[in-house]
């Protein structure tokens, strides 16, 4: 590739670069294409959303996207061992300078009634917005680039990744950044997640999730009275932990979401467990909260052992990690942040920074640049069967993604 790219030229501000790009005839052509293809994008979205993609069961959707990437004419199209789908704008010989990703998994089990409706510009059904709209936006931009004669100064890799939702625990993105092939070259990632144009996520909300389980011998409520009861140990631990105070800034929260244990009213239970969710914008606060949880559990364990004296020795406890998303943030002078702001100013979008947990958590925690934005249009009811996406003005979101991508890769005159 020739390297007269101006994108990283310190003499040119992101504002000037965006203005220069927006004047180019080929960029106008790409904008027109994004506007005119709306009905096609709608068909892609309805078709994609109807392919089930529960956490750890994304294979069918990976294959659907692989075929689409091939049809778009992307290069080196392949699916990795987890189900992440890759396609490059230019042949493999040119290392990508930018990745654009959208998660393909949903929260819905495979036996969900996948019923979709089209009411005017509104599409309805599970997963239609989160993240069928994001995957379609990525495909739309790839398609616009393939149709145009824009010559980018750097290669772009398009990624449909698995494992973003819930217990997926960002496994798709984690895997990509653990793979030398990608981790050595991917310094910038643009994540498309959900609908809209009014925000950009520049802070990665961290979370840690644990399952705490107390186990004992159990027994009959009458004849084994005095045998230590795991439910009492657990209650004591949770009561201790619930007294924790957390800062408002950086915002830090905790929740006990699930409690299980026991079999019948006249049995001393053998196990009692709870699932706890800790969140913070700050890595340090999140670590502190984890320490606090661990000490509440071990304190309650010791206290219970004293109460039950010798019999208490039969009680054990373990704390299992069931989720870990690193907290981090995009540096204020990161080029990606400047570019998104310049693009939004150019397009007249009044966007606000947001704190959220997305695929960008992984690269951000590794010190890379990453930002999450929406796919355009409007959406709601995420993670419910009444989810909706409104296609009106989708092209504003698509232009935003395209302009940001061009400003980050550079375009040859
Ligand atoms: Zn999502």
Share of the chain above pLDDT 70, in %: 96
The SS3 call for residue 370 is strand
pLDDT attached to residue 11? 66
Question: What distance in angstroms lies between residue 122's CA and the mean position of ligand 1's atoms?
Answer: 19
C-alpha 13/C-alpha 87 separation (Å) is 30
DSSP 82: T
Encoded tokens for 227? 């045998």
Q: Is 179 exposed, middle or buried (0-12, 13-18, 19+ CB in 10 A)?
A: middle
∠ at Cα 370 (367, 374), nearest 5°? 160
Question: What distance in angstroms lies between residue 168's CA and the mean position of ligand 1's atoms?
Answer: 12
Question: What distance in angstroms lies between residue 273's CA and the mean position of ligand 1's atoms?
Answer: 29
pLDDT at 412 over 60: yes
CA proximity to 156, closest of 411, 413, 376, 340: 411
C-alpha 364/C-alpha 362 separation (Å) is 5
Question: What distance in angstroms lies between residue 32's CA and the mean position of ligand 1's atoms?
Answer: 28
Q: With b meaning 16 or more CB within 10 Å and e meaning fewer, what string describes 81-98? A: ebbbbbbbbbeeebebbb
Q: How confident is the model at residue 167 (pLDDT cuts 50, 70, 90)?
A: confident
Task: State mean pLDDT over 24-39.
Answer: 97
List of residues 6+ apart from 48 with CB closer than 8 A: 61, 64, 65, 132, 135, 136
Question: What distance in angstroms lies between residue 253's CA and the mean position of ligand 1's atoms?
Answer: 21
pLDDT tens profile 77-131: 999 999 999 999 999 878 899 999 999 999 999 899 889 999 999 999 999 999 9
Question: What distance in angstroms lies between residue 223's CA and the mean position of ligand 1's atoms?
Answer: 52
pLDDT attached to residue 308? 76
Question: What distance in angstroms lies between residue 403's CA and the mean position of ligand 1's atoms?
Answer: 22
Contact 203/114 with Cβ under 8 angstroms?
no
pLDDT attached to residue 95? 84
H or E segment and range at residue 303? helix 283-308
Question: What distance in angstroms lies between residue 375's CA and the mean position of ligand 1's atoms?
Answer: 11
Question: What distance in angstroms lies between residue 387's CA and the mean position of ligand 1's atoms?
Answer: 12
Question: What distance in angstroms lies between residue 221's CA and the mean position of ligand 1's atoms?
Answer: 47
Mean pLDDT of the chain: 94
C-alpha 378/C-alpha 372 separation (Å) is 16
pLDDT at 252 over 80: yes
Task: State mean pLDDT over 365-375.
Answer: 97
pLDDT attached to residue 1? 39
Task: State mean pLDDT over 308-316.
Answer: 73
Question: What distance in angstroms lies between residue 165's CA and the mean position of ligand 1's atoms?
Answer: 7
Contact 355/285 with Cβ under 8 angstroms?
no
Question: What distance in angstroms lies between residue 389's CA and the mean position of ligand 1's atoms?
Answer: 13
Question: What distance in angstroms lies between residue 359's CA and the mean position of ligand 1's atoms?
Answer: 9
Q: Is 177 exposed, middle or buried (0-12, 13-18, 19+ CB in 10 A)?
A: middle
Task: State mean pLDDT over 62-71.
Answer: 98
pLDDT attached to residue 413? 75
pLDDT attached to residue 340? 98
Task: State mean pLDDT over 169-178.
Answer: 96
Contact 359/103 with Cβ under 8 angstroms?
yes
pLDDT at 172 over 80: yes
Question: What distance in angstroms lies between residue 395's CA and the mean position of ligand 1's atoms?
Answer: 20
Question: What distance in angstroms lies between residue 131's CA and the mean position of ligand 1's atoms?
Answer: 5
pLDDT tens profile 184-226: 899 999 999 999 999 999 999 999 999 999 999 999 999 999 8
84: left (phi over 0), alpha (psi -120 to 50) or beta: beta
C-alpha 48/C-alpha 42 separation (Å) is 10
List of residues 6+ apart from 77 with CB closer than 8 A: 66, 69, 70, 85, 86, 87
């Amino acid at each position: 590739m020739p390297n007269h790219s101006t994108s990283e030229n310190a003499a040119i501000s992101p504002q000037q670069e965006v203005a220069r790009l927006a004047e180019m005839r080929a960029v106008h052509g790409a904008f027109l294409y994004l506007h005119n293809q709306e009905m096609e994008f709608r068909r892609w979205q309805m078709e994609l959303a109807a392919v089930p993609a529960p956490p750890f069961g994304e294979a069918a959707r990976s294959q659907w996207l692989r075929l689409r990437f091939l049809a778009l004419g992307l290069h080196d199209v392949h699916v990795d061992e987890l189900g992440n789908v890759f396609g490059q704008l230019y042949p493999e010989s040119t290392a990508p300078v930018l990745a654009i990703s959208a998660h393909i998994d949903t929260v819905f089990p495979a036996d969900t009634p996948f019923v979709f409706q089209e009411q005017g510009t509104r599409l309805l059904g599970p997963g239609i917005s989160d993240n069928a709209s994001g995957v379609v936006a990525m495909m739309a931009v790839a398609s616009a680039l393939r149709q145009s004669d824009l010559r980018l100064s750097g290669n772009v890799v398009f990624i449909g990744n698995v494992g973003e939702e819930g217990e997926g625990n960002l496994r798709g993105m984690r895997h990509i950044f653990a793979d030398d092939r990608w981790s050595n070259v991917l310094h910038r990632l643009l994540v498309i997640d959900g609908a809209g144009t009014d925000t950009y996520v520049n802070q990665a909300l961290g979370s840690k999730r644990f399952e705490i389980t107390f186990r004992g011998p159990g027994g009959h409520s009458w004849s084994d009275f005095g045998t230590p009861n795991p439910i009492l140990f657990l209650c004591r631990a949770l009561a201790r932990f619930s007294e924790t105070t957390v800062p408002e800034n950086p915002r830090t929260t905790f929740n006990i979401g699930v409690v299980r244990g026991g079999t019948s009213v006249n049995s001393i239970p053998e196990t009692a467990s709870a699932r706890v969710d800790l969140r913070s914008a700050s890595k340090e606060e999140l670590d502190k909260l984890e320490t606090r949880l661990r000490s509440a559990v071990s304190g309650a364990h010791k206290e219970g052992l004293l109460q039950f004296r010798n019999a208490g020795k039969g009680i054990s406890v373990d704390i299992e990690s069931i989720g870990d998303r690193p907290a981090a943030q995009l540096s204020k002078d990161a080029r990606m942040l400047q570019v998104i702001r310049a693009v939004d100013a150019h397009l007249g979008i009044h966007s606000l920074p947001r704190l959220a947990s997305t695929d960008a958590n992984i690269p951000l925690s590794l010190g890379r640049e990453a930002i999450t934005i929406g796919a355009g249009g409007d959406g709601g009811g995420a993670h419910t069967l009444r989810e909706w996406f409104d296609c009106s003005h989708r092209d504003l979101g698509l232009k935003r993604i395209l302009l940001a991508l061009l400003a980050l890769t550079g375009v040859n005159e």
